[in-house]
């Protein structure tokens, strides 16, 4: 039996330069492209991210979103490298255009029974920065520890079950052919390698920043006073005792609450974010010409998708 699987938006299951539990699907640069096609034995899952607008300099080039931290919620913060990614609205436009072309192509090829798998709802982080540095919602932590909201997990699981395997609708050859045809008209959103590299390098490099190292030390000392022995914040998140995605123990909840309390007391997230901003601004300055080309390519892809949708 041929198994054909397609999701309207692409996989996002790994963070650049860092590890999160497999149950949490977080929106990150290193993930597969939005609108990507899944064929064969793997299911590609997506997590929604907040729409964000890019700022533009007087010269018409995207300006870095330097240290744009809106309030105390990391989900609303923006890293400079985001200026060189398509916005959420643009990603959906490209994905929708491409998917519509694939669906029409499959019907024209005689596969009238072809139906795409449903979109997977958001799970975990809602933006590039949300959960990038770990959990930060005290109310959610009290209820769910290091796991996503129960309703999100349930909705995600239902959608995954509904669309995980679609055995109807043709063969892989036809599907691949339709995907290639669609790419010629409305290509999927791409995450440029340079953008991925800057994001990953800045995350790894930020943990070596003296201010971040100091914040981690203070966090660890704070946790020790509460009876927990972790060196770094992500060590608590990655504790194997909390690995079961469908079980939230009282121990996990108490650990997560202590974790957030110590993060807040020692300004861990803001310090970490600030360090990344500095590193990204430097990398962007060194690679400005190449990044401008990435932005132009993104804009061109969006224009092609818009043309495919609106004619």
- C-alpha–C-alpha distance, residues 282 and 294, integer Å: 17
DSSP string, 207-266: TTSHHHHHHHHHHHHHHHHTT---SSHHHHHT-GGG--TT---HHHHHHHHHHHHHHHHT
Inter-residue contact 42 to 10 (CB < 8 Å): no
Structure tokens that stand for 259 in this block: 């974790």
What is the mean pLDDT, run by run of 10 residues, along the chain of 311 residues? 35 34 33 29 29 37 49 90 88 81 84 74 87 95 96 88 57 81 72 89 98 98 98 96 95 98 97 97 96 90 82 64
Place of tokens 């520890």: 145
Q: Beta partners for 272?
A: none
Provide the residue ranges of all domains of the chain, joining segments of one domain with +: 4-50+64-310
Give pLDDT, residue 172: 76
Give pLDDT, residue 51: 37
Structure tokens that stand for 159 in this block: 């959608």
């Amino acid at each position: 039996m041929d198994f054909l699987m397609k999701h309207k938006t692409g996989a996002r299951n790994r963070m650049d330069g860092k590890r999160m539990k497999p149950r949490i699907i977080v929106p990150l640069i290193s993930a597969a492209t939005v609108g990507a096609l899944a064929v064969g034995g793997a299911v590609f899952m997506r997590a929604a991210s907040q729409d964000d607008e890019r700022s533009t300099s007087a010269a018409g080039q995207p300006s870095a979103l330097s240290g744009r931290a809106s309030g105390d919620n990391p989900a609303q913060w923006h890293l400079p490298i985001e200026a060189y990614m398509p916005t959420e609205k643009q990603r959906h436009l490209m994905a929708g255009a491409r998917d519509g072309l694939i669906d029409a192509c499959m019907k024209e090829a005689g596969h009238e029974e072809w139906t795409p798998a449903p979109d997977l709802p958001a799970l975990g982080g809602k933006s590039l920065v949300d959960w990038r540095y770990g959990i930060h919602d005290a109310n959610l932590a009290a209820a769910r520890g290091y796991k996503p909201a129960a309703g999100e997990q349930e909705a995600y699981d239902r959608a995954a079950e509904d669309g995980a395997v679609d055995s109807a609708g043709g063969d892989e050859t036809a599907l691949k052919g339709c995907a290639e045809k669609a790419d010629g008209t409305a290509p999927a959103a791409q995450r440029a390698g340079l953008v991925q590299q800057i994001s990953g390098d800045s995350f790894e490099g930020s943990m070596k920043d003296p201010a971040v190292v100091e914040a981690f030390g203070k966090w660890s000392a704070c946790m020790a006073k509460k009876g927990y022995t972790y060196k770094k914040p992500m060590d608590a998140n990655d504790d194997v005792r909390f690995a079961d995605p469908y079980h939230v123990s009282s121990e996990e909840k108490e650990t997560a609450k202590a974790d957030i309390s110590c993060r807040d007391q020692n300004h861990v997230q803001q310090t970490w974010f600030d360090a990344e901003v500095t590193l990204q601004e430097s990398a962007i300055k060194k690679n400005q010409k190449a990044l401008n080309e990435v932005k132009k390519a993104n804009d061109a892809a969006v224009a092609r998708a818009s043309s495919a949708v609106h004619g």
